[in-house]
Structure 1
Amino acid sequence: GIGSTLLPEISFNYLGQWDREMNAGTMSMSGFPTGFQVSPQSERPHALDIVGSVMDGKLTLSVTYDEQEYRDSTMQGLLDNYKEQLLSIIEHCMQQNETELTPSDVSIEPLSLDMFEKLLTQLEEL
């Protein structure tokens, strides 16, 4: 269909948690600046490039975007909202006394929340 030719406008790349590697002494962060990830002259494949990693128990997100297309204040608002939602999820999870299944626990293939809820309902009825 037509939808299959559309490319996502947001790229999210989680690089992982680096605490153990750093503590083991196998790797260390360079003090040198990384420079541009993509040439400023090249056409951007995504409107937003979001890269996340965890270091020293802290999540760091960096957002790369076209300043002609987005204001800095808009991007700051996006990150503030992301942080607020993330803290809300953490608070919810901390209040749970029992573990709960999520779609990624039961399927390798992408599973919609609607289908996941139907499967849970069917399991409870058994």
Structure 2
Amino acid sequence: MSASEEAKWACDPDISFNYLGQFDQDLEHSALRISPLSTGEAISGRRQRASALECNGMIA
């Protein structure tokens, strides 16, 4: 592996993106429903962040 390839994989990004997928067709055809119940905390308050900014997204 060249030095430039090693540098590319050695970076430590400050932003994390997590695309969860597209759910609009599943919702239209009743394969899934949005729950009226609270989900509670998505992540433990004791968890240490991997990035300064974390973005999760989905199409519904």
| Distance in structure 2 (CA, Å) of the matches to 1:3 and 1:53 | 28
2:10 counterpart of 1:10: no
Normalized per residue, the structure richer in helix is: 1
Normalized per residue, the structure richer in strand is: 2
Normalised TM-score (structure 1): 0.38
Shift of residue 12, structure 1, vs aligned partner: 0.9
Equivalences, count: 55
| Distance in structure 2 (CA, Å) of the matches to 1:41 and 1:3 | 31
RMSD, matched Cα: 1.8
Q: Which residue of 2 aligns with 1:24?
A: 29
2:41 counterpart of 1:53: no
Q: Where do 5+ consecutive residues of structure 2 fail to align?
A: 1-5
| Distance in structure 2 (CA, Å) of the matches to 1:26 and 1:3 | 41
Q: How does 1:66-85 map to 2 (within 5 A)?
A: none
Q: Measured at CA, do residues 42 and 29 of structure 1 come closer, stay the same or move farther in structure 2, by a change above 3 Å?
A: same
Q: Which of 1 and 2 has greater Rg? A: 1
Name the aligned partner's letter for residue 34 of structure 2: M
Q: Where do 5+ consecutive residues of structure 1 fail to align?
A: 56-126
Flag the structure with more relative contact order, 1 or 2, with Cα contacts below 8 A and sequence separation at least 6. Answer: 2
Q: Which residue of 1 aligns with 2:39?
A: 34
Q: Which residue of 2 aligns with 1:63?
A: none
